[in-house]
Amino acid sequence: MTNDNDVFIQWNSKYEIGIPKIDEQHKHLVELCNRLHESIVADNPLEQKHQLASTLKECVAYVGTHFKDEELLMQAAGYDDFAQHKIQHDTFTKKVLETSEDCNSQNRLAAIKFVKFLYEWLISHICYEDKRYVPCLKEYLQKKTKQ
């Protein structure tokens, strides 16, 4: 059981981009970062090992799901900077896959560094890069609902 003080990252409404499906996915990614952090600091070594491995797997998979959904939407909307945005997703995914291999319960420092990297990249990417496609995607989604 956690309380607000235990939460590693507090979701903030300033991270919202105003596209509900994407906001939900971003919130879920932040939640997964928090669960990763919880599993790293868990007292019970067995629980820690199990939780860390399963949350890590879920986190890596969900990053893939989110990027795929976001990319499909950017492509459908004809977003000008799609190629550049996709390069950022691909570079991050590659780094996550490489780094997550070193992240296990035997290497707590690597695990903490990993979750910090994950969190910082996600928040910065959401706030600076994802927000850039919002006008284009909103226009596309509005047109689509009128059809």
| Interface residues toward ligand FEO, by CB under 6 A | 26, 66, 70, 85, 89, 125-126, 129-130
Q: Which is nearer to ligand FEO, 51 or 119 (CB)?
A: 119
Closest to 70 in 3D by CA, of 125, 7, 14: 125
Rounded Cα gap, residues 128 and 134, in angstroms: 11
Q: Which is nearer to ligand FEO, 26 or 37 (CB)?
A: 26
Rounded Cα gap, residues 15 and 40, in angstroms: 25
> Count of residues for the chain?
147
Q: Which is nearer to ligand FEO, 28 or 50 (CB)?
A: 28
Residue with tokens 């820690």: 48
CB of residue 133 vs ligand FEO: minimum separation in angstroms? 8
Identify the DSSP state of 18: S
CB of residue 103 vs ligand FEO: minimum separation in angstroms? 21
CB of residue 5 vs ligand FEO: minimum separation in angstroms? 27
